[in-house]
Amino acid sequence: MTDPAQLTIAIAQIAPVWLDRDRTLAKALDHARRAAAAGAELCVFGEALVPGYPFWLEHTGAARFEDEWHKELFAHYLDQGVDPQHHLADLRTLAREHALTIVLGCMERAADRGRHSLYCALIVIRSDGELAPVHRKLVPTHEERLVWAPGDGHGLRCHDVGPFRLGGLLCWENWMTLPRAALHADGESLHVALWPGNERNTRPTAPFLAREARGYSVAAAGLMRRDDVPDHVPYAAELRAALPAVPADGGSCIAGPDGAFVVEPATGEERLIVAELDAAFVRRERLNFDPAGHYARPDVLRLELDRQRQGVLHEARLATDTGSGKEPAGVDEVGEGRPGRP
């Protein structure tokens, strides 16, 4: 019988079929199926896996204003973005059939924001196949700001997965103190940190994230090699000439609640990493430190979190006229320049 305190997880460290949404989703589906066959109850993929991280930005002078070369690349990138309600049907079906929770990094082409901006998204597909509120990266880092829009707090929350409360952040969000504190306060005991790849990021962060939270820290990273640039991508030859041989070398790993590695960073190859996590280990380490429990002082320090999905359009709501002859309470004159009530 399965120990109710145990959770089998898989990290799928893979390269995308770069800038090709459908073929990358097919590859992710295959690895999620392999994870389920290995007995995993949770499968995690790296940041921006679908359709791929924008590695060209750093190496091609992408900040040039009104540059036609980069406009064409962005148009292609945008076209390959993900609508979670439309493009993830196969992964959702697999999750439901195998009772498998899937955490996927992708570029969300958000329907609620006009479909022409991309958000670096952490998507949780629950074991019943339903989508959790999507977390959009709060602050794109450095050159990412040229092609990614900033997110909000709507998806900054934890989810029950077996005996754990799972929370996640994207790349350099994992350095941000307050988002981590928000997840701690929501009961996080299993943290997933999604990265585009590189051991230089995952090796130092996984142990400190685990030790700070006294929980497990899973770093899921991708791979990218110069030869992974497909011929059909705009300016493919020029991109291969500009990119280093290995823009992302992986580095997926797992650290336990004591900060020690359970799985050392894996680099240089695609692989499915399977491990078993023990919720009792978390409980033991919480004896001397619980960041949102007995080692918190809400009478002194508290955090305010806005979980509203931010948007541009808020429609005015008109209260029913009672026949008094007066203007209905709560009317907003949007045409006069005052915003409607959200």
- Using the Cα atoms of residue 33, residue 37, residue 43 and residue 48 in order, give the sign of their dihedral: negative
Reported as a single tens digit per residue, the pLDDT across 231-270 is: 999 999 999 999 999 999 999 999 999 999 999 999 999 9
Give the DSSP letter string of 243-289.
S-S-SEEEEEEEE-TTS-EEEEEEESS-EEEEEEEEHHHHHHHTTT-
On whether residue 157 sits in a domain, the answer given is yes
- 120 belongs to the catalytic site: no
Q: How far apart are CA 256 and CA 254, in angstroms?
A: 7
Reported as a single tens digit per residue, the pLDDT across 273-306 is: 999 999 999 999 999 999 999 999 999 999 999 9
Query: Active site residue: 27, 41, 47, 158, which one?
Result: 47
On whether residue 140 sits in a domain, the answer given is yes
On whether residue 122 sits in a domain, the answer given is yes
Q: How many domains does the chain have?
A: 1
Examine the pLDDT at 187 and tell me if it is beyond 60: yes
Which tokens belong to 339? Answer: 């915003």
- 66 belongs to the catalytic site: no
Task: With cut-offs at 50, 70 and 90, classify the pLDDT of residue 325.
Answer: very low
Number of alpha carbons in the 13 Å side-chain half-sphere of residue 164: 31
On whether residue 291 sits in a domain, the answer given is no
**What is the pLDDT, as a whole number, of residue 114?**
92
Listed in sequence order, the residues at least 6 apart from 141 whose beta carbon sits closer than 8 Å to its beta carbon are 171, 172
Which tokens belong to 253? Answer: 């790993």
- For residue 82, give the DSSP letter: B
On whether residue 290 sits in a domain, the answer given is no
On whether residue 304 sits in a domain, the answer given is no
**Domain that residue 16 falls in:** 6-285
Looking at residues 30-51, what average pLDDT do you find? 98
In Å, what is the CA distance from 58 to each residue of 53, 211, 252, 259, 296? 11, 32, 23, 32, 41
Query: Active site residue: 43, 171, 173, 253, which one?
Result: 171
Look up the CATH number of the domain holding residue 130: 3.60.110.10
> In the chain, what is the straight-line distance between the N-terminal and C-terminal CA atoms, in Å?
50
- 171 belongs to the catalytic site: yes
Q: What is the pTM of this model?
A: 0.90
Query: Active site residue: 137, 173, 199, 253, which one?
Result: 137
On whether residue 245 sits in a domain, the answer given is yes
On whether residue 47 sits in a domain, the answer given is yes
